[in-house]
């Protein structure tokens, strides 16, 4: 752009002019003083306001040697009064007898951005940690209880990490954090989980074994192999099982619906976008796991549909929440063992009873047990939560293994008795009204018991580790 340096070449009271334009509700401004071409927006803010008044600026062209392709402009107002826009056609200077070139055309919308506290909040990004921090802030602030739409365009070739700042129940290095996320997602996507009493609606069983006999993902794959379609959806709600006539006593998944959408890409493979709808969504702890679940489902479907790569992930939350207390997404290590790795119960019991297990399973079993104690310690040291990762079925299975090795040592028998007491306290808490009073009584008992179990665990496990 050419700069002019001469008297009165600029507006010296431009803020007064801008304020006048905003107060008089001008939406488009045409000028040609500089003879420089421009089609742009100017956002004019009032003091103390977050939403600007938007002004479309159309700077006129001129006739000279450098502007022959945009020498004149035709300005059309369209869509009045409800959907106003300005369409600008650029005309070139042509040789005598030739038709003018009308191909260049630009359109600017004249509608104003509106600010409504109750409107859905849209958050987009390409980095999982960046979007995570923004959605958590929104869910705990201006969008609490409202609608949040998150749109993620992530690198399809990079394994999805757990966002930085995610509140884990115990400290983990980077690789362990990613492994934890993969294990949690794998559990929630089990097609036939055993622990349906504590967790009655794992997502995988509704997607891959709906009503006990129907794999919805296979149907979606068959549809998308044929052609793009808007029918590539799966539901996780079963009205016959989940709803009552009066709506009382209903308990069902927050993850309600998922849609797969094929997008054509010029000169490249098609992209498979995925959209997840949640009647309510907790963003601090649940949202990253939901995103990881959707990514896993994307990969599973894309692998079966020709010429497809994974694309965007979109989550739509009907009611946004952000909890400080630990929520049920963090399924206890022992409860996950019950479904995914029952062998670890045998390994852990063998080590506790003094047997030697010299392989990688020993480390996983011992680490998982101490992580379980850490989870319970954190739950009992924090605020009251109705969805904390308290093991039930896993402890029951562990006790069965311990009973089979009774008499191994005095410490082992004391350990078994203490684990039985732990199971009793956890069951009582699960069945309680979870009031402040009952929680306070439970936490005092369990913290004292955890201290005892920690000491017995150290005496039974650490000597072997040192040896």
Q: Of the ranges 48-57, 87-96, 267-276, which is most confident?
A: 267-276
> For the ranges 71-75, 83-87, 167-171, 293-297, which has the lowest average pLDDT?
167-171
Q: Is 328 a member of any domain?
A: no
Contact 288, 130 (CB under 8 A): no
Q: Is 456 a member of any domain?
A: yes
- The answer to whether residues 251 and 311 belong to one domain is yes
CA torsion sign for 275, 131, 205, 299 is: positive
N-term to C-term CA, the chain: 77
Question: pLDDT tens digits, residue range 344-366?
Answer: 999 999 999 988 887 888 998 99
410: confidence class by pLDDT, cuts 50, 70, 90: very high
Q: Is 126 a member of any domain?
A: yes
Q: Which domain holds residue 207?
A: 121-321
Q: Is 398 a member of any domain?
A: yes
Q: Is 115 a member of any domain?
A: no
SS3 assignment, position 59: strand
pLDDT at 331 over 80: no
Host H or E run for residue 443: helix 436-466
Sort strands 320-321 and 281-282 into parallel, antiparallel or unpaired: parallel
- Which of 267, 289, 321 is the last residue in one of the domains? 321
Q: Give percent of the chain above pLDDT 90.
A: 45
pLDDT at 156 over 60: yes
Q: Is 48 a member of any domain?
A: yes
- CA 255, CA 290: separation in Å to the nearest integer? 8
Q: Is 284 a member of any domain?
A: yes
- The answer to whether residues 308 and 183 belong to one domain is yes
- The answer to whether residues 81 and 130 belong to one domain is no
Per-residue pLDDT, 346? 93
- The answer to whether residues 71 and 135 belong to one domain is no
Supply the DSSP string of 181-209, one letter for each residue: HHHHHHHHT-SS-S-TTTSS--HHHHHHS
61: confidence class by pLDDT, cuts 50, 70, 90: low
- The answer to whether residues 196 and 281 belong to one domain is yes
- The answer to whether residues 339 and 316 belong to one domain is no
Average pLDDT score over residue span 104-133: 88
- The answer to whether residues 264 and 300 belong to one domain is yes
193: confidence class by pLDDT, cuts 50, 70, 90: confident
pLDDT at 378 over 90: no
Sheet of 28-31, strands arranged across: 28-31, 53-59, 38-44
Question: What CATH number has the domain bearing residue 435?
Answer: 1.20.120
Question: pLDDT tens digits, residue range 413-428?
Answer: 999 999 999 999 988 8
pLDDT at 64 over 70: no
Question: What CATH number has the domain bearing residue 275?
Answer: 3.30.572.10
Host H or E run for residue 321: strand 320-321
- CA 29, CA 46: separation in Å to the nearest integer? 18
What are 274's strand-pairing partners?
260, 313
117: confidence class by pLDDT, cuts 50, 70, 90: confident
- The answer to whether residues 362 and 444 belong to one domain is yes
pLDDT at 3 over 70: no
- The answer to whether residues 434 and 312 belong to one domain is no
pLDDT at 458 over 80: yes
pLDDT at 23 over 80: yes
Q: Is 105 a member of any domain?
A: yes
- Which of 321, 344, 365 is the last residue in one of the domains? 321
- Which of 268, 295, 321 is the last residue in one of the domains? 321
- The answer to whether residues 248 and 125 belong to one domain is yes
- The answer to whether residues 234 and 92 belong to one domain is no
SS3 assignment, position 150: strand
- Token code pair at residue 152: 């993620």
- CA 103, CA 89: separation in Å to the nearest integer? 8
Query: What's the structural domain count of the chain?
Result: 3
- The answer to whether residues 380 and 279 belong to one domain is no
pLDDT greater at residue 133 or residue 330: 133
pLDDT at 53 over 60: yes
């Amino acid at each position: 752009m050419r700069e002019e340096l001469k008297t009165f070449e600029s507006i010296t009271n431009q803020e007064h002019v801008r304020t006048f334009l905003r107060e008089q509700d001008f939406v488009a401004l045409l000028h040609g003083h500089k003879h420089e071409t421009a089609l742009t927006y100017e956002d004019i803010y009032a003091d103390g306001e977050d939403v600007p008044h938007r002004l479309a600026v159309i700077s006129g062209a001129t006739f000279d040697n450098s502007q022959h392709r945009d020498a004149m402009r035709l300005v059309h107002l369209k869509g009045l009064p409800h959907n106003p826009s300005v369409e600008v056609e650029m005309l070139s200077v042509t040789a005598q007898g030739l038709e003018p070139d009308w191909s260049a055309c630009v359109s600017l919308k004249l509608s104003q951005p509106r600010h409504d506290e109750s409107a859905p909040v849209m958050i987009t990004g390409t980095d999982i940690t960046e979007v995570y921090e923004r959605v958590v802030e929104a869910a705990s602030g201006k969008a609490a209880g409202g609608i949040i739409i998150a749109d993620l365009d992530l690198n399809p070739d990079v394994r999805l990490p757990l966002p930085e700042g995610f509140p884990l129940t115990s400290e983990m290095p980077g690789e362990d954090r990613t492994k934890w996320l993969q294990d949690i997602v794998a559990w929630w996507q089990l097609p036939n989980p055993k622990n349906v009493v504590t967790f009655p609606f794992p997502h995988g069983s509704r997607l891959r074994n709906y009503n006990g006999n129907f794999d919805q993902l296979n149907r979606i794959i068959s549809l998308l192999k044929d052609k793009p379609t808007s029918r590539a959806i799966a539901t996780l709600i079963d009205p016959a099982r989940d709803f009552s006539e009066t709506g009382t006593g209903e308990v069902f998944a927050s993850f309600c619906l998922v849609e797969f959408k094929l997008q054509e890409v010029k000169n490249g493979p098609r992209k498979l976008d995925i959209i997840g709808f949640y009647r309510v969504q907790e963003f601090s702890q649940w949202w990253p796991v939901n995103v990881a679940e959707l990514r896993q489902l994307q990969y599973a479907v894309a692998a079966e549909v020709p010429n497809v790569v994974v694309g965007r992930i979109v989550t739509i939350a009907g009611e946004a929440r952000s909890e400080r207390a630990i929520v049920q997404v963090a399924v206890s290590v022992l409860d996950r063992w019950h479904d995914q790795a029952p062998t670890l119960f045998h390994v852990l019991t063998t080590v506790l009873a003094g047997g030697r297990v010299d392989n990688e399973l020993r480390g996983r079993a011992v680490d998982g047990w101490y992580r379980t104690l850490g989870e319970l310690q954190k739950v009992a040291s924090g605020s009251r939560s109705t969805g904390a990762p308290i093991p039930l079925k896993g402890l029951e299975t562990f006790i069965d293994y311990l009973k089979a090795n009774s008499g191994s040592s005095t410490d082992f028998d004391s350990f078994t008795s203490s684990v039985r007491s732990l199971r009793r306290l956890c069951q009582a808490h699960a069945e309680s009204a979870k009031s402040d009073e009952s929680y306070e009584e439970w936490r005092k008992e369990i913290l004292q018991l955890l201290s005892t179990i920690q000491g017995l665990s150290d005496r039974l496990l650490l000597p072997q580790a040192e040896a």
